[in-house]
Structure 1
């Protein structure tokens, strides 16, 4: 999850790591409760939760891109985001259906942007706008489709819990170790608050969390948890850095303001989205 700080309220001091910590904990607890309730009581509704969250996240990113000078088509991306998630549901998690929905959405987006100025004028900045549109579609709904599809597999809710728990463990470990011991910046130019000490905390907490999940939730071998934990923590950290660089290019602090103490929906998904694919791939290959 992202460690890029949200702007604190005027009457509250941010924590050393830059967050409005009470608000972040409260919102995180509510979101965690929603995820637990859905997965335990109505796991098939997980697709709806993911679909709604991805449409909101896509809207946040599209809005920020348009504010940053990209003429990204809104309707094709939002409708395509919903269609990509829905295609996975109707195809029972088959990635081929997601690919078909992605290609169809990209084709519509290409034509939509091409004709956005009418038939009498050529679009300006067509290539960069199209590239940004494809990035949004792959970054958000395509990666999210793997996290949604896991609920349909054997021990599906447990697989999703594994994803959530290990990412949270990585985030908490990085936060604690970074605040207490952080001295050596890891990638100062992209995310100044990230440190190598924080990375060590993320790896420690993440691997322990992954081993516990694989052994106790998935009833499988501990060494699968070690592999999953290491790969997932690295992937989650890189996903966080990717969004940090995107926001740096756009000269913004957060993608949105929907979640107090966190920013927007997308600011909570930066590490979860690539991690969804990693967990899906590792568990599909090794379980």
Structure 2
């Protein structure tokens, strides 16, 4: 049986290496992609793990070199190995920006006020060598990789398009939905990004965790429908009353998840509540914090 750390050829010019960091939130581990041959681009180098760095370097064929290191977003399971890999190869690290980059005014205010919690798994020290943005193209021996800004899971989340494939990071995966935890995660932005991808013509998604998504538009639409259904459940619960916190609503709504995952579910509910409050559909009792009670507006 092939080890998870071995490079798997997914299609001509594309290899995947899975980092040794499996967990309930990362599935089998973080996917690192080597795009191209000869000169390659590395997408999502992964966690700070010497074993994974050795696996990436060991996957390079004789004479191959890394020309660019692209990071979808700065969570600790995706970004920290970027700097050691850059030091080892001389390749620049390209990303949208540091971990607090791109927050909406609402999320920036929540972060500044404190009390909202969040910050799960954020690589606070991450800083790219070069910031890239919507419409940029990263060219090299791999051809061209087009940059899409796809915030939601994190404000600095990017997706990368190459030869009809889209590297979706943690925005869209086949095995699970994504955690959206304010102030880094933004439910309104998440839904907008998913709707955007549902309208594109990508032939396959290569996510940050799990297998390729071979029905990409359907999966994007499914995630939108799933979040819309959760929103309807939250609004229905608020209409019945009494005012409730995100954790209380999660315990009532997420009846199908294991108790150990309820804290993550509560963060998703809080993201919905922040979005609903911004649209005047939910009313917080005072300033929004992780423990604020909400009513139906």
TM-score calculated relative to the size of structure 1 = 0.26
Richer in helix (by share) = 1
